[in-house]
A and B are shown apart, each in its own frame.
Chain A
Amino acid sequence: MLKRKPRRLTNDGKWGLFMVSPYLIQFLVFLSFPLIASLYFSFSKYDMLNAPEWIGIENYTTLIQDPVFHKALWNTFYFAVLFVPAQTILALILAVALNQSLKGLKLFRIAHFIPVICSWTVVLYVADAIFNPRFGIANTLLVKMGASPQAWLNDEALVIPVLVAVAVWKGVGYMMVIFLAGLQNVPHDLYEAAEIEGAGTYRKFRHVTLPLISGTTFLVLVLTTITTFQSFEQIYVMTGNMGDVTSAGGPDNASMVLMLYLFQQGFSFLKMGYASAIAWFLFLILFAITLIQLWLQKKWVYYEN
């Protein structure tokens, strides 16, 4: 019989703690302290140059009434609604297409992965070559087809779809790689069995592949959703009119998203308290969405054991 040991750290436990201590210390110093500080700031008026002044929930009440915040919240959701399905479906299609055994396959995989490792500034130049209102390929094509040229990033109705298209192009390779890993874990004998039963390509995909990679799909969905709510750099760079960063988020706040609004309020206008309130609001939204996704996964995600 094993006797229950008194609750004391074993040697292994101590070693374990010691080995993870760099991370623990880093977490305590660089993450938990700023977290608590930002919670405190979110209840105060703080311009960074003077000491924070406690004002209770005023930041939150202002936030709820702030039209620009509403717009930013709406834009963020709009971005997510377009981006998450587009990227997930496209990544899946690409992954299935690139999961064959053909010659030169690696080259295609690399080609789709290149935008992932490029910085947003580089992507901006590529996007500019397409969507530049005067010299861009998009407008040249439109004019050739007899349509009128568009203002793209300067058009309130088009700015988010254009940003989403560019973001999908940049991000799809990464999700594709995750899907590829998932696809390669599907056992071949299942396909063979399905073939013997007379299943065609579509039925094999629908009834074998999809259920077996549902765990991967779930991961991709969660990751993609979180990226959307954190999207900042792209919009900062692409709508910032290059010389003038306070203009980012235009035209008329049509591409103002939460992270950008947070940055603008905190660092451009020195309203750190208000920015902290936005940050905590954003955290609550993300937390809620992730909880919902976790709850929903029971309904459709298949785990082998």
Chain B
Amino acid sequence: MKKIGTGLCLSGLLLMSAWLTGCSNDAESSTEDGGNTTKEEVVEIKLGYYSSGSADEKVEELIQKFEEAHPNIDVTTQNAPYQQFFQKLDTQIAGNNAPDVWLSDGVLVQKYAERGAAKDLTEWIESDLNQDDYYGLDFNKGSDGKYYAVPQGIQIGALFYNKDMFDAAGVDYPDESWTWEQLKEAGAKLTLDGQDRTADDSEFDKKSVKQYGLTFFNITEGWMPVLKSFGGGVLDEDLKESLIDSEENKEAMNWIVDGMERGILTDPSDLQSFQSPMSPFPSGTAAMRIGIYARVLAANETGINYDVSVLPKGPNGDRFAPVIANSWIVNENSSDEKAEAAWEWVKYWVTEDEVQKEWAELGEAVPVKKSVANSDLFLNSGEQSINKQAFLDSFEFAGTLDTNAVWSEWLQKFNENADQVFLGETSVEDALKQADEEVQKVLDDFYE
């Protein structure tokens, strides 16, 4: 008897759901038929984004507004924390059921573009967007000159400094005239050991540094801006050849190593002492940091008295601000209909002032739309009034992190060798030579 009961229940449910879906379809088509001359069908698209905690709610809210503005598009979302999101995404692409549009970390755009997972958006961008109105479209350009993504928000690097520490040390605040040499000189005065002696003092004990001049971490907020402003870098313009073993890089690395040996800059071993390598500046253990825009959030949270300036010049007057343009990618394998609907979302995101403003209020990234970025809303938002103009000024000398399809792989090879130098295990020359060979091999293996 029981069996029959469940069977009945099940078939009842099936019938009901069939009837319900049938009904709703009828309802939709009838209103459309009645209200509009053109018959439109509802397009369902899947949108994926990696979670950033507080911002999730805002994204969902914006998607709802988008659906209201585009009644013919129905958006379902998929989100997860950063690591899981990209692992899942890769398997979904492999299984051909990835979202129709997803948010990609800026450094990963080329990984998808060069492996044929991202749709070429060049034509759409050219016809639908006035390129001069936006920051950062070019940062996603592939080496083939095509656009595979549209920025969602931009991270750009500047120099953060702790005003209280500068005041206490009697050092002038950094400005756009600073070179890296000057930064180090100031940094020496701002580095204190357990007995409050500065790094200039002959008695200075670099084993017990309690306040660093500059915290230095990895690529974006570490060696890349230094290398590039010294005239060096990692890859050539086509992003297929390594340029690591150069005089300019040697000079830049020597500047870094000298700073670490004197205790002014944090080395990888120093950073291990912190819960996160990001924490020395916001926790008030370092007087300066190279920081992307999002670091404003952590600095505001701990309430330190800080400001920002553009990054220092290299010996030849060159400057470099690292950029990561987190971007929307449209799935290459989506049907034309879905891809077009996905493009509507991307367009909605970048063109609508309302969306840009609401996103800017969260303070996570520099807005993509120039008019919004240059408005009061962005420049004077936040609890502390800091010189946000410095971020916008930095666009003049901004560049990517030489991101290509094998970015994370070559980066790992470079970091490994750089860390050996930073820890005092090898010489700058040997490390650059070895890094050059290893990075070139990674590039050759992929681009052969």
Task: Show the binding face of A for B, using Cβ within 8 Å.
Answer: 47-50, 132-135, 149, 151, 153-154, 156, 241-247, 250-253, 264, 267-270
B278 neighbours in A (Cβ, 8 Å):
243
Please report the C-alpha to C-alpha distance between residue A250 and residue B425 in the assembled complex, in whole angstroms. Answer: 13
B276 neighbours in A (Cβ, 8 Å):
242-243
Query: Cβ of B94 and Cβ of A154 under 8 Å apart?
Result: no
Q: Which of B28-36, B243-251, B410-418 contacts A (4 or more CB under 8 A)?
A: B410-418
Contact for A50 among B115, B411, B415, CB less than 8 A: B115
23 A-B residue pairs with Cβ-Cβ distance under 8 Å, sorted by A, are A47-B115, A48-B91, A49-B90, A49-B93, A49-B94, A49-B115, A49-B117, A133-B272, A134-B273, A153-B272, A154-B269, A156-B425, A241-B268, A243-B276, A243-B278, A244-B277, A246-B411, A251-B268, A251-B425, A268-B408, A268-B409, A268-B412, A269-B409
A267 neighbours in B (Cβ, 8 Å):
87, 90
18 A-B pairs besides A244-B218, A247-B412, A247-B419 with CB distance below 8 A are A48-B90, A48-B91, A132-B272, A133-B269, A134-B270, A135-B273, A149-B207, A151-B423, A154-B268, A154-B423, A241-B268, A243-B276, A250-B416, A251-B268, A264-B412, A267-B87, A269-B409, A270-B90
A156 neighbours in B (Cβ, 8 Å):
425
Please report the C-alpha to C-alpha distance between residue A268 and residue B91 in the assembled complex, in whole angstroms. Answer: 12
A243 neighbours in B (Cβ, 8 Å):
217, 276-278
A264 neighbours in B (Cβ, 8 Å):
412
| Nearest chain A CB to B185 CB, angstrom units | 26
| Nearest chain A CB to B334 CB, angstrom units | 15
A251 neighbours in B (Cβ, 8 Å):
268, 419-420, 423, 425
Of all A-B residue pairs in the complex, the 6 with the closest CB atoms, nearest first, are A134-B273, A48-B94, A49-B115, A246-B412, A269-B409, A154-B269
Please report the C-alpha to C-alpha distance between residue A135 and residue B274 in the assembled complex, in whole angstroms. Answer: 9
Residue of B whose beta carbon sits closest to that of A125: B275
Count CB-based A-B contacts (< 8 Å).
79
Q: Most chain-B Cβ atoms within 10 A of its Cβ — which of A132, A156, A243, A264?
A: A243
Chain A contact surface mostly: loop
- Give the number of chain B interface residues (Cβ < 8 Å): 35
Query: Cβ of A50 and Cβ of B425 under 8 Å apart?
Result: no
Please report the C-alpha to C-alpha distance between residue A246 and residue B93 in the assembled complex, in whole angstroms. Answer: 22
Contact for A151 among B87, B269, B409, CB less than 8 A: B269
Asked if B116 CB lies within 8 Å of chain A CBs, one says yes
Please report the C-alpha to C-alpha distance between residue A267 and residue B278 in the assembled complex, in whole angstroms. Answer: 24
Query: Cβ of B271 and Cβ of A241 under 8 Å apart?
Result: yes
Q: Most chain-B Cβ atoms within 10 A of its Cβ — which of A151, A153, A270?
A: A270
| Nearest chain A CB to B280 CB, angstrom units | 11
Query: Cβ of B94 and Cβ of A132 under 8 Å apart?
Result: no
Query: Cβ of B272 and Cβ of A252 under 8 Å apart?
Result: no
| Nearest chain A CB to B441 CB, angstrom units | 11
| Nearest chain B CB to A148 CB, angstrom units | 8
Query: Cβ of B419 and Cβ of A252 under 8 Å apart?
Result: yes
Please report the C-alpha to C-alpha distance between residue A205 and residue B178 in the assembled complex, in whole angstroms. Answer: 74
Residue of B whose beta carbon sits closest to that of A135: B273
Please report the C-alpha to C-alpha distance between residue A47 and residue B90 in the assembled complex, in whole angstroms. Answer: 9
Please report the C-alpha to C-alpha distance between residue A243 and residue B416 in the assembled complex, in whole angstroms. Answer: 15
B115 neighbours in A (Cβ, 8 Å):
47, 49-50, 270
